[in-house]
Amino acid sequence: MKKSAYLKTMFQKYGNEITVHPKYKKEYQVKGLSFQHLPSSNELGIPFDHTDDGGYLYLGPAEYRIDRELEETKLEQDDVLYWVTKSRAVYLQNEPIYVCAVLQKVVAS
């Protein structure tokens, strides 16, 4: 089994329903994990710091490359919207195995 397929199974089993709202494409559903107020990036193995931009983090399957849809992309979970401020695919042996993103909660004005 490919590493990305194993992680996709874990996201399907344990993940939350998240709606991705890309600016120029139709919205779609993914199963992913999102967290708030996490330990440091080094402790989590995340390739960038998530605490500077609001402290929310998304992990999701490599099949949905939100890192390629950054311009004004939003994620929605439990009727709460988050801006994607940074996103990156994480690779193992030249294979993308998951996508992680730093999120900032959308504040209603």
Tokens 């710091």 belong to which residue?
49
How many degrees, rounded to 5, is the angle at CA 102 between CA 100 and CA 62?
Answer: 15
Name the pLDDT band for 27 (thresholds 50, 70, 90).
very high
pLDDT value at position 21?
92
- At residue 53, φ and ψ (nearest 5 deg) are -110, 30
The structure's pTM equals: 0.76
pLDDT value at position 53?
47
Q: Please provide the DSSP assignment of 47-91 as one string.
A: SS--TTTTSEEEEEETTS-GGG--TT-EEEETTEEEEEEEEEEEE
57-80 residue pLDDT tens: 888 988 888 888 767 889 999 888
70-108 residue pLDDT tens: 678 899 998 889 888 888 899 988 888 889 888 888 877
Question: What whole-number distance in Å separates Cα of residue 36 and Cα of residue 48?
Answer: 15
